[in-house]
Amino acid sequence: MEIMIAASIFVLLTGLCFGSFLNVVVLRAFSGESISYPASKCPTCQKPLYWWHNIPLLSYLLLGGKCYFCKTHISWQYPLVEAITAILFLLAFLKFGMSAHLIFLWAVIFMSLVIAITDIKEHVVFLMHCFAFALIGLIYHAGATGIMALNGTEITWLDNPLSSSVLGLIFGGIIMLLYFGVSYIMAGGKMAMGDGDIYIAMALGACYGREKIWIIIVLGFLIQALITGVLFEYRLLQEKNYKLFGGILAVAILAVGYGLSNKFGLFEENVIYLLGYTIALIGTAIYVCRQLLGKVLGSKTEGLAVPFGPALVLAGFVVMFFNV
C-alpha cells in the first residue's frame, strides 16, 4: 500500500514534468524554435527564466501567475496542461501498472495532448507532430511483434501487432479521406474540415491498431456532436430562445430514456409504452426541426464548428481507459 502511494506520487511528479515539457513543445511549434534550445524565456519581455521559474505548477503559484521580471500575466493554461498530463499519466499507471506498455501509453497520451492543444488554441495541426505520433505506434508494435517472434509465439503475417498498427494507420487515413471527400462535396466545394484530421486519424490508427481505430472515429463523431450540441444550447440560452432550448433538451432526454428503456427491456413487456414513447420522441424531434428551420438556420450557426482533432483524441482516451 505504502509502495503504491509512493509510486503514485512519483508518477504524478513525472507527469507534471512531462506536462511542463508539453507546454514547451506546443509553444515552440508555433514559434518554430527548437524544443531543446534556447532556454525558456518570457514570451513578452524575452528575459531567460531562472531555474525556479520552471517548476511545474509550483512556479505558477510562487510567481502568483505573473512573469518575475515584467509582471505580465501568465496564462492559466500552462498549469492546467501540466495538471491534466499528470492526472492522465497517473490514471494509466493505476490501470496498467509499471511496464513497457505503460511507457508507450504515456507517449500516446503526450502526443495526443500536444495535437489536441495546438488544434484547440490555433486550429492548427502540425504534420511533424502526427508523424512522430504515428512513428511511436509503429515502432512500439514492431518491437512487440519482434519479442513475440523471439519467444516463439505463433504469429501470421496478418495477425500480429505490427500488421494491426500498419492497417490501423491505413484504415484511419482511408475513413477520414472518404469523410473529407463527402463533406467537401456536400459543402459545395468548400473545405468543411482540415486535412490535419486525416493525419491525426492515421497516427491514432498506428497507435491503437486496426480494430480500435473504427471505434475511435465513430466515438469521435459522437463526442463532437455532443460538444456542438452543448455549445448550441448555451448560445440559445444567451439569445433567450427558450422554446428551442427546451425542445432540444427534451429530445436529448427522451433519446437517453429510449436507450435505457431498451437496455432494461421495458419495451418488450409493454407495447403501448413503446408506441407512446416513440410518438413523443418523434413529435418533439419534429417540433425542434421546425423551430430550427424557422429561426436559426442560415443566420447564426457559424462559429459553432468544433475542431474534430480533439474529439478524436478524447475518443482515444475513452478507448484506452474504458476498454471500449
Residues that bind Zn ion (CB under 5 A): 42, 44-45, 67, 69-70, 72
Nearest approach, Cβ of residue 53 and Zn ion (Å) = 10
- Comparing CB distances to Zn ion, the nearer of 73 and 123 is 73
Report how far residue 243's alpha carbon sits from residue 253's, in angstroms, rounded to the nearest whole number: 15
- Comparing CB distances to Zn ion, the nearer of 45 and 191 is 45
Nearest approach, Cβ of residue 25 and Zn ion (Å) = 21
- Comparing CB distances to Zn ion, the nearer of 70 and 297 is 70
Cα radius of gyration (the chain): 24
- Comparing CB distances to Zn ion, the nearer of 30 and 242 is 30
Cα separation values, 101 from 7, 95, 314, 319, Å: 17, 11, 20, 15
Residues 97 and 105 sit within 8 Å (Cβ to Cβ): no
- Comparing CB distances to Zn ion, the nearer of 60 and 104 is 60
Using H for helix, E for strand and C for coil, what is the string for 225-263? HHHHHHHHHHHHHHCCCHHHHHHHHHHHHHHHHHHHHHH
Nearest approach, Cβ of residue 71 and Zn ion (Å) = 7
Nearest approach, Cβ of residue 121 and Zn ion (Å) = 20
- Name 108's Cβ contacts closer than 8 Å, sequence gap at least 6: 133, 136, 137, 207, 316, 320
- Comparing CB distances to Zn ion, the nearer of 70 and 256 is 70
Q: List, in sequence order, every residue forming a beta bridge with 48; answer none if it has no partner.
A: 41
Burial class (CB in 10 A: 0-12, 13-18, 19+), 188: exposed
Nearest approach, Cβ of residue 61 and Zn ion (Å) = 17
Nearest approach, Cβ of residue 104 and Zn ion (Å) = 38
